[in-house]
Amino acid sequence: MKKLLRRLDERGVLWATLNRPERRNAVDYDMMDEFEQLIHEIKHLPHVKALVITGAGDAFCAGGDLQQFHALRTTEEAYPMLQRMGTVLYDLMLLPVPTIALLNGTAVGGGCEIASACDYRFAAHTATVGFVQGNLAITTGWGGAAMLLEKVRHDEAMTLLCSARRFTAHDAKDLGFIQEVFLDDVMLSCDKWIEEMLIPRAEVLRAYKESAARRWEATGLRERMVQEIRQCAQLWEGEAHHEAVAAFFRR
């Protein structure tokens, strides 16, 4: 079963759906494989003019799959996984087309990091979002803090990160993380927004996005993300993290 479903519409908008609803669309190694393939293909498909990422079922993404990743105990074991997904999100952030995270439901932990890599974040009015990694005694592990600090004001980013709490879609909009909250069908609402806002041809949209990508490259975003990932890997092997994960599984 595909864990990242795709549909390319007649306008050149690619709709990608995280497809592990039984695990609240948590990211595992197979989904990383499909993310890498998707990004590679979009880079080489000039007729694609935008990417929308959403989730199957009632969640956007619950972050990394703890059932798969809890076996990683040390810094040396955790770092390759964290670094690999960090590379995926760096490539997503610099993808040469406008990108939209369509939060159809809950986005927590790494789910918010995926959303941070996108140019736009839209949410259902029932969605909740939270950089909750601090509750597991770790930081954002895929470079999410560095990306978030590029997208919202410093104090807003610090509130989202340091509180480690969940916010309603409307509160997240007030903090600058969400651009639009949809009261009606999120897919139709997003489709309407695309119809009204992404007017130019694909090559024009790509040129604008490449201007943004050049800025992020010039400011050393990649290295800042790598440093952040290394910090998370160091915290990963701490007893506080392993105790928090054990408590999570006992719930």
Residue 14 pLDDT class (50, 70, 90 cuts):
very high
pLDDT exceeds cutoff 90 at 70: no
Give this prediction's pTM: 0.98
- For residue 88, the tally of other CB atoms under 10 A from its CB is 22
User: Tell me: the pLDDT tens digits for 131-167?
Assistant: 999 999 999 999 999 999 999 999 999 999 999 999 9
- For residue 71, the tally of other CB atoms under 10 A from its CB is 8
Average pLDDT on 111-125 reads 98
Amino acid code (one letter) for 170: H
Closest CA to 18 of 32, 5, 9: 5
DSSP secondary structure letters along 197-214: H--S-HHHHHHHHHHHHH
Q: Angle between the 75-93 and 221-236 helix axes, to the nearest 10 degrees?
A: 150
Helix (H) or strand (E) holding 8: strand 4-8
pLDDT exceeds cutoff 90 at 1: no
**Mean pLDDT taken over the chain:** 97
Structural contact between residues 69 and 81, judged by C-beta atoms closer than 8 angstroms: yes
User: Tell me: the pLDDT tens digits for 23-60?
Assistant: 999 999 999 999 999 999 999 999 999 999 999 999 99
Closest CA to 130 of 160, 174, 162: 160
Radius of gyration of the chain (CA): 17
User: Tell me: the pLDDT tens digits for 92-109?
Assistant: 999 999 999 999 999 999
pLDDT exceeds cutoff 90 at 251: no
Class of domain 4-197: alpha beta
pLDDT exceeds cutoff 90 at 16: yes
pLDDT at residue 230, as a whole number: 98
Q: Is 95 exposed, middle or buried (0-12, 13-18, 19+ CB in 10 A)?
A: buried
DSSP secondary structure letters along 59-107: EEE-SB-HHHHTT--SHHHHHHHHHHHHHHHHHHHT-SS-EEEEE-SEE
Residue 213 pLDDT class (50, 70, 90 cuts):
very high
Average pLDDT on 200-206 reads 94
